Amino acid sequence: MRVIVSGATGLIGRALVAALRDRGDEAVGLGRGVPHGAGEARWDPAAGQLDPAVLEGADAVVHLAGAGIGDRRWSPGRRREIVASRVDSTTLLARTLARLERPPEVLVSASAVGWYGDRGDEELTEDSGPGTGFLAELCRSWEDATAEAAAAGRRVVRLRSGVVLSARGGALARQLPLFRLGLGGRLGHGRQWLSWISLDDEVGAILHAIGDRSLHGAVNATAPAPVTNRDFTAALGAALHRPALLPVPRAALHLALGAELADEMVLAGQRVLPRRLLDAGFGFRHPGVHGALGAVLGGG
């Protein structure tokens, strides 16, 4: 199987490429730099440049590229960059796929549980309606950008991922230094729901979406047991054998991250369930947060 992967140098992309190659598939990373071999290809989404020959005859495309959402404050310019990096690149891929003579069978395009907005204790499945706010609007535009591929008859999976747990990057890696010093704690009131997934299961969900032709449209890539921030904090402290008793007040998060980013990414929550993955027979390696953190952290 030949799989094209955008965002192949990111946290999820690196793990996915490794998993594909481990099972004997050909993985081609799609990036903006100069290619350094047969396993890399170049594109320039900002300029609308993508050689159709890169995708022609491939079996699948996995689209993971996009500017980091939580890397820095959401200035007006940064918001535009976040949107453009996702919507423009997805539109270019979808348009190119729609015009191929020998197209890939499936496009797995990243999205996020931010699509649902801040929903309190409501249990959310793929059939739940959209939320409001910058992240929800971003995810709607991001997913809508796959429309040309779907209209041309390509199978499109819009993977709404939760927080991906890995010690090598992402939100968890940024928390670890303080927690290892015993200085971690809940964020704000701690009652907000966290929909998470281990990196192993994120990669597994992508591979399942590639291979299972019954999957199309929105698919939640989250573990089946979301937890509150308070419970996640306790589980992380336990996994590291450290106290986790120092809460971070909302005002401090606003100061450090900016009010909009803090309110939508850190203090908001979604209680998301992976109904379509479960219905499709996907087996989670790490369904519970304690086991997932133990595996991710190698026993602490």
Domains delineated in the chain: 2-296 (3.40.50.720)
Residue of 222, 202, 225, 227 lying closest to 276 (CA atoms): 222
Q: Is 35 a residue whose pLDDT tops 90? A: no
Average pLDDT over residues 260-274: 96
Q: Is 76 a residue whose pLDDT tops 60? A: yes
In the three-class reduction of DSSP (H, G, I as helix; E, B as strand; rest coil), residue 209 is classed as helix
φ and ψ of 175, to 5 deg: -80, -30
Average pLDDT over residues 35-40: 87
Q: Is 163 a residue whose pLDDT tops 80? A: yes
Structure confidence at residue 299 as a pLDDT band (50, 70, 90): low
Average pLDDT over residues 29-38: 88
Average pLDDT over residues 3-23: 97
Q: Is 94 a residue whose pLDDT tops 60? A: yes
> Given the DSSP bridges, would you call strands 193-194 and 227-228 parallel, antiparallel or unpaired?
antiparallel
Q: Is 33 a residue whose pLDDT tops 90? A: no
Left, alpha or beta for 133 (phi > 0: left; psi -120 to 50: alpha)?
Answer: left
Q: Is 133 a residue whose pLDDT tops 60? A: yes
CB 222 within 8 A of CB 277: no
Structure confidence at residue 34 as a pLDDT band (50, 70, 90): confident
Average pLDDT over residues 131-159: 97
CB 179 within 8 A of CB 235: no
Q: What percent of the chain has pLDDT over 90?
A: 96
Q: What is the mean pLDDT of the chain?
A: 96
Element (H, E) at 161: strand 155-161
Average pLDDT over residues 248-265: 94
Stretch among 34-48, 126-140, 191-205, 221-235 having the lowest mean pLDDT: 34-48
Residue of 45, 58, 139, 53 lying closest to 90 (CA atoms): 45
Q: Is 164 a residue whose pLDDT tops 60? A: yes
CA distance 209 to 124: 20
What pLDDT score was predicted for residue 300?
A: 44
pTM of the predicted model, to two decimals?
0.96
Q: Is 13 a residue whose pLDDT tops 80? A: yes
